[in-house]
């Protein structure tokens, strides 16, 4: 599997995931114009995870922040529950710490998304806070808790052995 920058031709694939009814409780959706802005911005990366075709995507933001932090803003695979989450996430962290030289990677996740949180925690991410009933999900008609999670560069390096 490889990670590569998304091209405009990939935006339909990305939106096919961010608009999936079974994903919308857990992930936000932005239009192609916004995806193009992020793809063109030095402070963001829109990435495709592929192997003979696109299998997933991720968006990093806040690149270049003086703190060295990078936000893993959005990620999804073309099929959930297939056991590929760990490999996908490991590739994303390698990209963040090696290619982007991140000092810290952080993300937020719905507290009702155990499938994702069970990827993040074994990768070393700590839950650093909970924003209660914070993120309104129109598809649910209510706000869900948001878990803030982070991993420091030193922690990631130590886990590499
Ligand atoms: C999050 C995502 C990338 C994880 O990849 P995945 O291939 O589905 O993950 P896996 O199949 O490896 O499963 C991850 C863990 O969740 C568990 N799991 C799978 N389906 C689950 C479910 N419906 N409920 C609870 N746990 C579940 C698995 O058993 C596994 O845990 P384990 O390693 O302790 O056995 C993927 O599910 C996805 O794209 N989801 C939709 C978008 C999304 O939620 N993005 C994250 C936003 S923060």
What confidence score (pLDDT) does residue 85 get?
A: 97
Mean pLDDT score of the chain, rounded to an integer? 97
Dump pLDDT digits (tens) for 64-118: 999 999 999 999 999 999 999 999 999 999 999 999 999 999 999 999 999 999 9
Q: Is pLDDT of 161 > 90?
A: no
- C-alpha 59, offset from chain centre: 6
Confidence of residue 159 (pLDDT cuts 50, 70, 90): very high
Domain 2-160: which CATH number of 3.40.50.150, 3.30.1490.20, 3.40.50.2300, 3.40.630.30? 3.40.630.30
Q: Is 59 in the pocket of ligand 1 (CB under 6 A)?
A: no
Q: What distance, in Å, lies between the first and last C-alpha atoms of the chain?
A: 22
pTM of the model: 0.97
**Alpha carbon nearest to ligand 1 atom 37, residue:** 80
Q: Which of 80, 82, 137 to mutate to test the pocket of ligand 1 (most atoms within 8 A of CB)?
A: 80
Q: How far is the CA of 21 from the centre of ligand 1 (A)?
A: 16
Contact at 8 Å (CB) between 5 and 47?
yes
Interval between CA 66 and ligand 1 midpoint (Å): 32
Q: What is residue 88's predicted lDDT score, i.e. its pLDDT?
A: 97
Cβ–ligand 1 distance for 131 under 6 Å, the answer: no
| Cβ-Cβ contacts under 8 Å for 19 (sequence gap 6 or more) | 29
């Amino acid at each position: 599997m490889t990670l590569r920058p998304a091209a405009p031709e990939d935006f339909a694939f990305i939106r096919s995931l961010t608009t999936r009814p079974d994903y919308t409780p857990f992930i936000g959706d932005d239009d192609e114009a916004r995806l193009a802005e992020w793809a063109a911005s030095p402070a963001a990366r829109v990435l495709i995870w592929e192997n003979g075709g696109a299998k997933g995507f991720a968006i990093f933001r806040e690149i270049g922040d003086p703190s060295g932090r990078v936000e893993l803003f959005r990620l999804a695979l073309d099929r959930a529950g297939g056991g590929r989450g760990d490999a996908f996430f490991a590739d994303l962290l390698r990209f963040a710490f090696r290619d982007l030289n991140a000092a810290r990677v952080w993300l937020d996740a719905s507290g009702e998304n155990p499938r994702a949180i069970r990827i993040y925690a074994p990768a070393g991410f700590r839950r650093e806070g909970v924003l209660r009933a914070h993120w309104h999900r129109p598809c649910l008609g209510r706000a869900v808790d948001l878990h803030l999670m982070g991993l420091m560069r030193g922690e990631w390096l130590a886990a590499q052995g």
